[in-house]
Amino acid sequence: MSGCAPRSDRAGRAVRAALLALAAFAATFARADVPVPPAERPARVVSMNLCTDQLALLLADPGQIVSLSHFAADPGMSVLADQAAHYRANHGRAEEIALLSPDLVLADVWSSPATISMLRRLGIRVAQLPPGTSLPEIRTRITAMGRLLGQEVRAQAMLAQFDADLAAIARPAPGLRGAVYGIGGYGYGPNTLAGQILALAGFDNVVGGPGQDWGGPMPLEQLVMAAPDLVVSGGDSYGHGPSRAGEMLRHPALAALPRARGLRDARWSCGQPAMLGAVAELAAIGKDLEKEKAEQ
Confidence tier at 242 by pLDDT (50, 70, 90): low
Q: To 10 degrees, the CA torsion angle through 130, 215, 79, 141?
A: -10
Listed by start position, the domains of the chain span 41-165, 177-295
pLDDT tens by residue, 22-46: 544 444 443 334 455 666 899 999 9
Say what the pLDDT of residue 36 is: 58
Please write down the HEC assignment for all residues of the chain: CCCCCCHHHHHHHHHHHHHHHHHHHHHHHHHCCCCCCHHHCCCCEEECCHHHHHHHHHHCCHHHEEEEEHHHHCCCCCCCHHHHCCCEEECCCHHHHHCCCCCEEEEECCCCHHHHHHHHHCCCCEEEECCCCCHHHHHHHHHHHHHHHCCHHHHHHHHHHHHHHHHCCCCCCCCCEEEEEEHHHEECCCCCHHHHHHHHCCCEECCCCCCCCCCEECCHHHHHHHCCCEEEECCCCCCCCCCCHHHHHHCHHHHCCCEEECCCCHHHCCCCCCHHHHHHHHHHHHHHHHHHHHHC
Are 132 and 272 within 8 A, CB to CB? yes
Say what the pLDDT of residue 261 is: 79
**Average confidence score pLDDT of the chain:** 87
pLDDT surpasses 70 at 237: no
Cα end-to-end span (Å), the chain: 66
- Tell me whether the CATH fold assigned to 41-165 matches the one assigned to 177-295: yes
pLDDT tens by residue, 95-146: 999 999 999 999 999 899 999 999 999 999 999 998 889 999 999 999 999 9
Q: Is 229 exposed, middle or buried (0-12, 13-18, 19+ CB in 10 A)?
A: buried
Are 72 and 87 within 8 A, CB to CB? yes
pLDDT surpasses 50 at 5: no
Say what the pLDDT of residue 241 is: 58
The pTM of this model reads 0.84
Are 67 and 46 within 8 A, CB to CB? yes
Q: Which fold has domain 177-295?
A: Rossmann fold (3.40.50)
| Superfamily of the domain at 41-165 | Nitrogenase molybdenum iron protein domain (3.40.50.1980)
Q: Which of 107, 145, 149, 93 is nearest to 273 (CA)?
A: 145
Please give the Cα distance from 276 to 271 (Å, whole number): 9
pLDDT tens by residue, 147-178: 999 999 999 999 999 999 999 999 999 999 99
What single-letter amino acid sits at 195? G
